[in-house]
Amino acid sequence: MAPSADSPAAANGSKIDFTSFSNVINGKISTASKTTHAINPATKKPNWEVPVSTPQDVDEAVAAARTAFKSWSKTTISERKAALEGWAAEIEKHVADFAKLLVIEQGKPYQWAMFEADITTKQIRNMAELEVPVEIVEDGDSRQIITRYTPLGVVVGIVPWNYPMSLACGKITPAVLTGNTIIIKPSPFTPYTAIKVVELAQKFFPPGVVQVLTGDDSLGPLLTLHAGVDKITFTGSTATGKKIMESASKTLKRVTLELGGNDPAIVCKSVDIATVAPAIATLAFMNSGQICLALKRIYIHSSIYPAFRDAMVAYTKTLKVGEGFEEDVFLGPVQNKMQYDRVQGFFDDVEKNGMSVAVGGKIPDSEGYFINPTIIDNPAEESRIVVEEPFGPILPIMPWTEEEDVIERANNSKMGLGASVWSSDLEEAARIAKQLEAGSVWVNAHMELAPTAAFAGHKQSGIGAEHGVAGLKAYCNVQVLYLKK
């Protein structure tokens, strides 16, 4: 069922159809006898039908990927980069179409959908500038030792629903750049943009190199357990990541897991409150808090706590909640009912335990999964809102006095994805930052990733790395050549 008059229509004279969605297997559009559909989270109305992939579809896609790997793995790095550039340029022609599609399938406001669509092409191009080096580890009179990185084979990329376009392309790019083939499995909540980027890829990659399969909850296990798959790259929750790792262990598949976070921000007393308070709130409530790297715990120096809290509250009150095509909307709906119900559970816990709500606190009646941005004022350190990741627009703020104590509190988490320190004293900020247990730590910023730098989580926030040369190596076997002279 087509959602609405706001549905994207193909532009620029392109033949791509943004209202029809199918699997792509071995370079061809592939349908299925059974279909399903996702829901527009702003209206709870059904989006378009997509195939429910069968075990036969999975077998065909894996077989095609294995066949394509034989020749694709032998292409030159220049040929792979040229294909990626062509693909990025083709996506670029349809940025507005993709942005409209993202609003409908994911719920994010159009301004943020345009950002995701635009950053996707930049991400492809930036990653394509990288190369995995050949490392000469010894070069003596009698022998030379060289470390090479060779492609693994067939990769499965499992993509979440919060950034369905950029994260799909962020898995495709390093996989094919290193000579692998890849099958994308988008979230059943947001299958549409992933299907279309893979469809566009067929113009630039041989059949079987880049494929996409959609389906229900049975599809993930079919792929992760398949003997013909060599690697799983997954972005999503820690709980699901553990299940994927268990499945992959059956055949010792390689895994890269980018999992949940509970990112702390430590705000020092020297900050400019008028500048930093809105920045902190923005970084917490972007995408309705549905970002693994969003700020989720804010520790504010006690000497500025009341003023900083009030500034955050005042700014948060200006953030408009609404349907993504409405003007000036900052927060769209939470993406799906499962997540909406989970976030509702945090609100219930706040009410049950009599916590102080600085702003928000009520979930409005609406046609969609809308939640007002909410700040919880100084909850107990052991409370659920501090310990767990809500993945929604609800944020705890707490005061601190002693540096050693706040570092211990910030590190007291099973997660370790990101963290940040905010201070006008850079020596102080660097001293604190170096003691935080997280894969990415920022000073006076947050979430500013670079595709040329590794992105990895500590503790239960993940295994392995994405981005940078370290991310490329994760798609490779290590081979050491001993050359006797």
Residue type, 21: F
Cβ 416 vs Cβ 437: under 8 Å: yes
**Which residue in the list 105, 258, 389, 466 is annotated as catalytic?**
258
> For the residues of 181-229, what is the DSSP string, one character each?
EEEEE--TTS-HHHHHHHHHHTTTS-TTSEEE---STTHHHHHHT-TT-
Query: How many beta carbons lie within 10 A of that of residue 138, not counting itself?
Result: 12
∠ CA 369-371-372, nearest 5°, is: 155
Active-site hit among 60, 105, 268, 292: 292
d(C-alpha 188, C-alpha 175), whole Å: 22
Show Cβ contacts of residue 123 under 8 Å, excluding neighbours closer than 6 positions.
166, 169, 170, 173, 451
Please identify which residue in the block is written with the tokens 């943004």: 18
- Report the distance separating Cα 485 and Cα 476, nearest Å: 27
Quick one: how many helices (H) and strands (E) in the chain? 15, 24
- Of 161, 212, 223, 165, which is closest to residue 184 (Cα–Cα)? 212
Residue 136 CA to its chain's centroid (Å): 35
Tokens 């499995």 label which residue?
185
Cβ burial of 105 (10 Å; 0-12, 13-18, 19+) is: buried
Q: Is 37 exposed, middle or buried (0-12, 13-18, 19+ CB in 10 A)?
A: middle
At residue 142, the 3 state secondary structure works out as: coil
With beta carbons less than 8 A apart as the criterion, state whether 421 and 443 touch.
yes
Q: Which amino acid is present at 329?
A: V
292 is catalytic: yes
Question: Catalytic residue positions?
Answer: 258, 292
